[in-house]
Every structure is written in C-alpha cells, then in structure tokens.
Structure 1
Amino acid sequence: MEHRVALVTGGSRGIGAAITQRLAAEGMSVLFTYRSSGTAAYEVVDEITRRGGAALAARIDSGAPGAAETAVSTAIERFGGLDVLVNNAGTFDSGELASVGLTEVDHALALHVRAPYLFSQAAARRMRDGGRIITIGSTFADRVPYAGVALYAMTKAAVGGMTRGLARDLGERGITANVVHPGNIDTDMNPASSEEAASELPQIALGQYGAPADIAGAVAFLAGPDGGYVTGATLTVDGGYNA
C-alpha cells in the first residue's frame, strides 16, 4: 500500500489511533482528524514518524459544517492524493428514551450519520479510482442487548444503508465501500476493567474483550489489495458477541 494516502476521522485515540498506526505501518501516508485530544494526536504522529512513516494530525471537528471538504483538501494538499477514507469519529450516546433531548439527537446524527455521508461524498469526488471507503459502525446496529442505547443503535444502523448505496454509486470506478462493526473493544471509552465489563464478558463467545488492533487489522484488510472484491458488506469483529 505504499504511495497511497488515507484519511481517518477521529484518529488520535483508541480504535482510531490503532487504525492510523496500522495503515501507516502498511506504508500509507495518513492524515487523521481530532477534535480535542491534541497531546494524544501528536503522540500518534511522533510514533509513526519514529517508525519511518508519514502522518499529519488536523484539528477538525468531524461533525461541524465544512469539516469534510477541509479534511479532504488538506490530505490531498499534503500528500498529493486520496485513496482511503475511514469514517471512525464517534461517541457513545446513551440514556433513557424519555430523557434524551433534541440536542443529543442532533449531535449523534451529525457525528454518526451526517459526517460519514459528507466525508464519503467529499472523498469520492476527489478519490483516485480503486479507492476504499470504510465506516466504523457497531454491533448495536444488528442487536441491542440492553436498554438506553436506542439513539446510538439507530445512528450506527444508518451507516449500513449508506454503505450499500455507496457501493452501488462508486462501483464503476472500482471504489469499494464497507462497514466494520466492532464489539466490545478495550478502549478508554469502554475499558475491559470496568464494572460493566463483568456483565458483558459472559455474552462474548471468546470470553474476552478485543483490542483496537483487532479493528485496525480488519480495516487494513478492506483497505488493501486482498479486500478489492469486497463491497457493500459488513465485517463484524466482536469475538462472537452477536453470534
């Protein structure tokens, strides 16, 4: 994947950082966005640079108007093109149905639905033929095991329909579009050491949380030559949580 360029949204921490580092390790030049974790972002850049890779961190709120065009233009100006987009930026929205307000709904839709669509649209306009669009979803798109996550599940289910549409729209250019659905992944947002993890573990067929590197590996497969005939598909990486 040398000489190819990737754009990763929300690439400074957790799953996003692992994806950024893996694509850089595969030889890609990577621009990733971050919203507030500047120290973590530049630690990712330093690590990639130390290993001989190329990366750039751009402080861009993925949910903000104009973010997609800015990020795509920055990637192309810095690295000379664009081949891979990974829609990763997100947050975990939860709360009892009656307590979730319009502000929370609008924020979730802007970050999890509008942003992936607009980033995919902006990237597709300028992406080289044979490119890849990969969106990070959630196992909650297919199965909701407990109450309080209707908003989150709704937004993550939406990207599946978007992705199947992208596959049809972009297939003639050899551009693929796929979704990766993570299950319980050990990150700051969902640590394997939390009290909630004790109730989650019995539902996981493999009996343990996954690592961010597990998701990064799935993304690398879809972004690489071996994933060239996979499009409009969903790859679930959850240790059997939804089995």
Structure 2
Amino acid sequence: MIDSLEVLTAASSAELRDAVHGLRRHWTPRGPEPVAFFTLGAPSYLDLAPDPDSALYQRRAQASRPLLRDSFDWLYTRLSKLLGEHLGAPVTYAEHLGLPGFHVWLSAAVFTKPVAPLHFDLQYQSISWPPGTDLTRHISFTLAIRLPAAGGGLNVWDVSHEQFRHALRKGWVESVADLKRFHTMEYVPYTPGRLVIHSGHTLHQVAPSARVQPDDERLTFQGHGVWCDGRWLLYW
C-alpha cells in the first residue's frame, strides 16, 4: 500500500533545494568520477548494510547529525508532526542512527532506463535496536524536492519480501529480478512537496525519467522508520 502526504509547498520546496545546494561542500560523492550522485547525511543502505562491522556509518551519522539539525530542524519538526498525525502514533528520531537525509542526482546521474536495482528495504537487519522494537512494522518514505522536467517516481511490484522468501525456498525464483516475470508493476509518480510512504517490504525500484535535460536534477529527502515501544523511530 502506498500513501501520500503533502509536506511542503512549491515555494518551501524551492527554498529547501537552495539550502541543500548551499551545503554542497558537505555532500558525500557516491560512485566513480565524474561524480553526479551524492548524499547529504548517512544512509545505512550505503554506509552500513554492505559491511555491518564497519564503523563508517556511525562516524558519518554522528558527524552529519548537528549539521542536518542546524540546517533543517524545521523540516524534521514538520515531518514528525505530519507523519505522526498520519500514522496515529508519536514519531521521533533514533538518536543512535543517522537522521533522514538527501539524495542528489545531478543531470548526468539521472537515468532514462530501469537500471536501478530492484530491492526490499532490509538495512534495518544490520542495526542494533532497543528492547520493544518490532521489526515487522517498518516504513520507508521519500519526499521529492526537485524532479527532472520529465518527472520521476517509484516502480512498485505487488509482491512482499515474505512472498519472495517463500518463492526462493520453493525454488520458483533465483533472485529478486525474477519476480518481474510473475508480478505486476505499478508506477508511482512523485510530486515535489509530497511525501510517499510504503512499508519498504514491497518490491520497488527508483523509476527512470523519460528523458534528461542539461539542467535536470532529482533531489529527494528520504528515510525509514521502525515501530518501537509505542512510537515510530525514524532513521536513514
């Protein structure tokens, strides 16, 4: 199930975009030179999940927290309020993990074919959680801030991680990519200022844009949440 929630106006989205670009010296390059894909903040799927024993994620999470809080406290406050109202439960930020942060794809990194990996959001499996955490209750969210002129969004397939594990045990599939043959895809378009929320346990993929212009950019604010002792703990 995909939910959508308005968080920002067009004007505040534009202001947020300018603020993120004002911190460009703090962006972390991802990929080989010439780099056109960056993050601002510490995503666990990149800095922790590939090597859970590494201290890289914790270093980056703690180093980026003051900068993100000082620069975007209004956004974190608004997100926790609106998301809490939408979910019907308190929303807070996990103090031992990275704050929700930003993906920045400059024009050269915006792809026009479905080359992004198909995946389930399972990075929480590499994290130590406090007592009372229920890892069967998980959310992922993306707030589009700026999109290419041709648009952007999310590809979603009607299959859960549990269904994938069952198919794998039965020998019906060998990889996540095999699921595309048996399940229907839905394209979920993003709109700047609107938050898209899903479980993270439904197969999904960053959708390509139909075409790319020289001044295009795909800028999103993202994170996840797990249920813990009567509240949602957000992280990235």
Give the structure-2-normalised TM-score: 0.28
* TM value normalised by structure 1: 0.28
Which one has the bigger helix percentage?
A: 1
More strand by share: 2
Q: Which has the higher contact order (CA 8 A, sep 6+)?
A: 2
